[in-house]
A and B are shown apart, each in its own frame.
Chain A
């Protein structure tokens, strides 16, 4: 059974700092990995999708990497802003086509 772990569970940083969120998964037989952000009481917003054949994806200040063999992904946020404050969720699409979510990292960026 696929298990997805996100570290840290919570992170508080000053504005402008570069930061890394970590995601690990136990079964490397995946189709893709997706990073989401969720604001309190809202739906999930897709940030980046990395296919299993890819090593990284970039969108603006966000860069996500994937090391399938070691079961790891990182989400790098450059020059963080208070508007980046949210919960970040990592989800892995496994061989059963289901998405398995991590428990998320609660990010607070302080002005």
Chain B
């Protein structure tokens, strides 16, 4: 099973709403990632969790708040977003080798977010 599952597939929210994106994998991967992708652009790294601890934050605004409740789950909490935050949000996971995040990356189908 090489599946990363993301919910919801589509989300529309106002600038004052609070919502969450969810990601789940059962491949035993200990590294999980959030990426943001705008139309016709490559994915941009937002956060990396390694062994359930935040290891990389790419200077993402605090209106995006990641959470890794356990080794299979990754959440992205959204609050007070701006219209320019509308994008495809992709979750990914990978194996760690000798504790390093160097394994093959597997992506979910993404959550399409629209901020009104």
Contacts and interface: CB of A to CB of B under 8 A. Distances in A.
A107 interface: no
A56 to B, nearest CB: 16
B66 interface: no
Contacts of A44: 43, 90, 92, 105, 107
* Interface of chain B: mostly helix, strand, loop or mixed: strand
A32 B100 CA distance: 13
Given A43-B109, A44-B43, A49 B90 contact: no
B102 A103 contact: no
Contacts of A45: 107
Contacts of A97: 100-102
Contacts of A43: 4, 6, 90, 107-110
Interface residues of B, number: 23
Nearest to A91: B105
Contact of A46 (B88, B101, B104): B104
Interface string B48-65: 100000001000000000
Interface in B1-57: 2, 4, 6, 41-43, 45, 48, 56
Contacts of A46: 2, 104-107
B112 interface: yes
Contacts, number: 47
Nearest to A52: B102
Contacts of B45: 98-99
A28 interface: no
Interface in A57-111: 89, 91, 93, 97-99, 101-104
Interface string B80-112: 000000001010100000001110111111101
Interface of B: 2, 4, 6, 41-43, 45, 48, 56, 88, 90, 92, 100-102, 104-110, 112
Q: Which 7 A-B pairs have the closest CB atoms?
A: A101-B42, A44-B107, A43-B109, A43-B107, A49-B104, A31-B102, A97-B101
